[in-house]
Amino acid sequence: MAEFKGQPRLPEFAVPKHYEIRLKPDLSSFRFAGSVAVDLDIVSSTKAIVLNAAELSITSGSVSFSSKATSEVMKPVTAEAVEADEILILEFPETIPLGIGVLKLEFEGILNDKLKGFYRSAYTINGETKHMAVTQFEPVDARRCFPCWDEPALKATFKITLDVPSQLVALSNMPVTKEEVDGSVKTVFYQETPLMSTYLVAVVVGMLDYVEDHTSDGVKVRVYSQVGKADQAKFALDVAVKTLEFYKSYFSIPYLLPKLDLIAIPDFAAGAMENYGLVTFRETALLFDEQRSAAANKQRVAEVVAHELAHQWFGDLVTMKWWTHLWLNEGFATWMSHLANDNLFPEWKVWTQFLGEFSDALRLDSLEESHPIEVEINHASQIDEIFDAISYQKGASVIRMLHNYLGAEPFQRSIASYVRKYAHSNAKTEDLWTALEEGSGKPVSKLMNLWTKQKGYPIVAVSLVEDQKLKFEQSQFLLNGAASDSQWIVPISSCYGSYGEHKSLLLESKSGTLDIKEFVGSNVVEDSSVWIKLNVAQTGFYRVKYDNDLTARLRTAIEKKYLNDMDRYGILDDAFALCMARQQPLTSLLTLLSSYGQELEYIVLTNLSNICRTVQRIAADATPELLNSVNQFFINLSMNSAKRLGWDPKQGESHLDSMLRGDILTTLSLFGHGPTLTEANKRFQAYLDDRNTPLLPPDIRQATYVAVMQTVSTKNTWGYESLLRVYRETDLSQEKTRVLGALASCPDPDIVLQVLNFLLTPEVRKQDAALGLAVSKEGRETAWKWFKANWENIWQTLGSGSLINRFIKAIVSPLASSEMVKEVENFFQNRTTASTSRTVKQSIEKARINAMWVESIRKETKLAEVVKELANRTY
């Protein structure tokens, strides 16, 4: 049977049609027993049946195949579990009759603690530790719960039965049809599902509370939580019901299952999972506490709920054919969640906030180690790593670009017809393009293939030339300075000063020109008050490099507030990227930053903050003697916002101001602003004395914790110890996350070391160990040494998936010297696996880019002069 080993895909002899699955989890021994009966269609002559199974022991003698055609019952001569390939090979004594038959087998497995397959999650009730049993199957872990054909295109119907302790709640994709109680055990039977993929099957068993509502067409919606947290489920419930109605109208098809459950799971690796009819979440992504959660937490809940509900159509009803098309799921759901949230919460300006995600995508995609949206997958272990900013944020960005190009109405109409056509079935990227092409009459495939089949994106250099013309030239934008021959069809839009005119064109070759006489009159070259902005509202997935003349005009326009928020954002973000790529000096970026001193808009200011923080870290390496002036400049730049927002929430203030306050205070703390640090410590003390003090509302808690950590050292550990106490005492996951996100920002490397060790203790759930981990610049190299020394332990604790990759990225990518890069390369030489290799390569590339950036800044001769001048400005 050697021919079945080492293959990326299952052989196609047998096609599963229906599964009857029975599972009996034991929450004290952490084991489970199960049986499965699969209706198979044997479609080609074979002696072997090959299916997926991993970490399951098949009960010997339990395997049988009964052919419907011949009524023959066959037993395999061998049943070989090949763990390396996660398959089970059943070899029969003779050829299996074609047509339908039933494969039966029994098995046992472990309720593991790895947050995948069928696993256990711990929670406490009245101080007592309890466990729930939970499944997480995407991408390839259904095989850890029951033997199956674990590929997304092999859709089947599922009938599930659970044997559980009678006092517990047991949930699955479909409603319960019947329950039989037999003393301490009950058997729960569920309705059969519609056709669906294995990765969407789900089961949860535990002590649970819920709140309930229903949609206008009678779908019963419940949000489940641990006992005692049901009040925190109300916000998500409201969002879920309204979002279902919104999608029903957008897709022109209602939600098709009779019920929808959303459930908060205390231990959960991802943010949430769109299991059909039973969506699982980490607590921070579903629960909202009116008193103790922050505005950002509220927005996160709405975003994640909307994202997972979008999958109920785009992913669950229509599923990708293979993981190469994962982006169809994730890119689309990411885009769609913004559409839904914008509809529910227009004051959040989620499309403006989307630019943050747009930048995440541009950042990752400017690495040579990026990958195309449609990425080749040859082994199951490669799939985890493509749940990244390319599949999600770049995917969503190219959909936004296309939506803008085709128009909202044709786009929606085509999506609805695509969903109708592929409902209960599978589709690939090309199928979506075909639907959009038919619905819009525009050449969608030709345009989009360039964006999804090749990695990277262009930067368009623009200059003003004689005869009132704009000249464009595209080339791939790479942070490491490498060149390529890649080209794209770039939808270029542009707007012009007070003329308010837009002009668009498709740039289909390397360079092009645009006559703008009719828009700007005849004197644009001489009249420097006319500014020109490309990529209006940043809808195109590219960057723009303006010539010096155009840049100067834009600077003035920004100061005079002539540009709208998305365009102000784009100019800033592109300039920052060009600086990091060493295509423009730091002095130009700093001069541009100084145009933003009057900025009020949330998304522009948060990006400004992020950029200032990165520049500060780089400057600390490149020119430590200028660090004080750099800090002073950034403090001055943040002062207007700081004064406007203060520490205390204003009556009736906007959601965005509530979120911004914490961001500005964090920035000021990181730049060492004395009064902020003092005030933070004072308010923190008040909070320690009374957790209900009005002096520390939820929106500024994390910022305060960061400020407190800036004043902690081995000589003064009060702040650190107090934060650990806050962490230990709270039952609110969002509060724990705030503390964890602040600890490593301490400038004392010895404290950073203590923090890192703390992250690996049982007090921190695995899912949170590297979540939002941002090590101070002073602690970076210590963190790397610690990482090397603890590698075995980290690997043992976190396993090979996304959890460890988060750690690798957080520790490696901030490094900024060529010596460190060498060390990292040596270290990973023989420690990289198929599931970490992309992350390792990307993180090393990022560190190398930092190192080159540091070197180039050291060579800037005018830097000191410019920084000192800027540090003296006020805004």
Residues that bind ligand BES (CB under 6 A): 138-139, 270-274, 303-304, 307-308, 311, 330, 333-334, 387, 392
State which residue, 429 or 607, has the beta carbon closest to Zn ion.
Answer: 429
**Two structure tokens written together for 298:** 């509220």
Nearest residue to 289 (alpha-carbon basis) of 236, 222, 338: 236
**C-alpha 510: how far from its chain's center?**
33
To Zn ion, the closest distance from the beta carbon of 307 in angstroms equals: 5
303 binds, among ligand BES, Zn ion, none (CB under 5 to 8 A by kind): ligand BES
Backbone angles phi, psi at 137, to 5 degrees: -105, -30
Choose, from 283, 308, 437, 735, the residue flagged as catalytic. 308
Residue 391 DSSP code = I
777 binds, among ligand BES, Zn ion, none (CB under 5 to 8 A by kind): none
To Zn ion, the closest distance from the beta carbon of 217 in angstroms equals: 25
Determine contact, residues 337/310, Cβ cutoff 8 Å: yes
Q: What interhelical angle do 408-422 and 395-406 show, nearest 10?
A: 120
CA atoms 858, 860, 866, 870: torsion sign: negative
**C-alpha 353: how far from its chain's center?**
15
Structural element, H or E, at residue 792: helix 791-798
- Which strands form 169-172's sheet, in the order they lie side by side? 117-125, 128-136, 203-206, 169-172
Cα atoms in the Cβ-side hemisphere of radius 13 Å centred on 275: 29
To ligand BES, the closest distance from the beta carbon of 236 in angstroms equals: 13
State which residue, 271 or 772, has the beta carbon closest to ligand BES.
Answer: 271
State which residue, 316 or 330, has the beta carbon closest to Zn ion.
Answer: 330
Per DSSP, the residues of 811-850 read: HHTT---HHHHHHHHHHHTTT--TTTHHHHHHHHHHHHHH
602 binds, among ligand BES, Zn ion, none (CB under 5 to 8 A by kind): none
To ligand BES, the closest distance from the beta carbon of 422 in angstroms equals: 18
Identify the three-state secondary structure at position 449.
helix
Amino acid (1-letter code) at residue 338: H
To ligand BES, the closest distance from the beta carbon of 279 in angstroms equals: 9
Using only the alpha carbons of the chain, give its radius of gyration: 28
Determine contact, residues 413/439, Cβ cutoff 8 Å: yes
Per DSSP, the residues of 625-673 read: GGHHHHHHHHHHHHHHHHHHH-SSPPTT--HHHHHHHHHHHHHHHHTT-
State which residue, 23 or 269, has the beta carbon closest to ligand BES.
Answer: 269
State which residue, 323 or 496, has the beta carbon closest to Zn ion.
Answer: 323
Report the alpha-carbon distance of residue 111 to residue 118 in Å, rounded.
6
304 binds, among Zn ion, ligand BES, none (CB under 5 to 8 A by kind): ligand BES
State which residue, 138 or 574, has the beta carbon closest to ligand BES.
Answer: 138
Q: Does 330 bind Zn ion (CB under 5 A)?
A: yes
Structural element, H or E, at residue 470: strand 469-476
Beta bridge partners of residue 170, listed in sequence order: 205
Range 768-827, binding Zn ion (CB under 5 A): none
State which residue, 301 or 742, has the beta carbon closest to ligand BES.
Answer: 301
Beta bridge partners of residue 381, listed in sequence order: none
Per DSSP, the residues of 229-287 read: -GGGGHHHHHHHHHHHHHHHHHHTS---SSEEEEEEESS-SSSEE--TTEEEEEGGGT-
270 binds, among Zn ion, ligand BES, none (CB under 5 to 8 A by kind): ligand BES
**Two structure tokens written together for 743:** 């600890």
288 binds, among ligand BES, Zn ion, none (CB under 5 to 8 A by kind): none
429 binds, among ligand BES, Zn ion, none (CB under 5 to 8 A by kind): none
Question: Residue 561, Cβ neighbours under 10 Å: how many?
Answer: 12
State which residue, 287 or 611, has the beta carbon closest to ligand BES.
Answer: 287
**Two structure tokens written together for 330:** 């994730």
**C-alpha 227: how far from its chain's center?**
28
Residue 173 DSSP code = S
To the question of whether residue 330 is assigned a binding role by annotation, the answer is: yes
Amino acid (1-letter code) at residue 29: S
Give exposure, 712-722, as e/b (b: 16+ Cβ within 10 Å): beeeebebbeb
Determine contact, residues 343/401, Cβ cutoff 8 Å: no
Longest dimension (CA), the chain: 90
To the question of whether residue 311 is assigned a binding role by annotation, the answer is: yes
State which residue, 271 or 649, has the beta carbon closest to ligand BES.
Answer: 271
To ligand BES, the closest distance from the beta carbon of 340 in angstroms equals: 12
To Zn ion, the closest distance from the beta carbon of 363 in angstroms equals: 20
Determine contact, residues 403/547, Cβ cutoff 8 Å: no
To ligand BES, the closest distance from the beta carbon of 384 in angstroms equals: 6
How many residues of this chain interact with Zn ion, rule: CB under 5 A? 2
Range 393-412, binding Zn ion (CB under 5 A): none
State which residue, 58 or 419, has the beta carbon closest to Zn ion.
Answer: 419
Alpha-helical segments (H) within 107-227: none
To ligand BES, the closest distance from the beta carbon of 856 in angstroms equals: 35
Pairing of strands 176-182, 185-190: antiparallel
663 binds, among Zn ion, ligand BES, none (CB under 5 to 8 A by kind): none
To the question of whether residue 655 is assigned a binding role by annotation, the answer is: no
138 binds, among ligand BES, Zn ion, none (CB under 5 to 8 A by kind): ligand BES
To ligand BES, the closest distance from the beta carbon of 337 in angstroms equals: 6
Residue nearest to Zn ion (CB): 333
To Zn ion, the closest distance from the beta carbon of 6 in angstroms equals: 30
State which residue, 263 or 470, has the beta carbon closest to Zn ion.
Answer: 263
Annotation marks residue 559 as catalytic: no
Report the alpha-carbon distance of residue 114 to residue 797 in Å, rounded.
9
**Two structure tokens written together for 551:** 């840049």
Pairing of strands 203-206, 169-172: antiparallel
Residue 174 DSSP code = S
Stretch in the footprint of Zn ion (CB under 5 A) among 233-241, 287-295, 331-339, 359-367: 331-339
Range 333-392, binding Zn ion (CB under 5 A): 333
Is the preceding omega at residue 139 within 30 degrees of 0, hence cis?
Answer: yes
Residue nearest to ligand BES (CB): 271
Q: Detail the residues annotated as belonging to a binding site.
A: 307, 311, 330
Q: Which residues are annotated as a binding site for Zn(2+)?
A: 307, 311, 330
Residues that bind Zn ion in the complex, under the rule CB under 5 A: 330, 333
Residue positions annotated with a catalytic role: 308
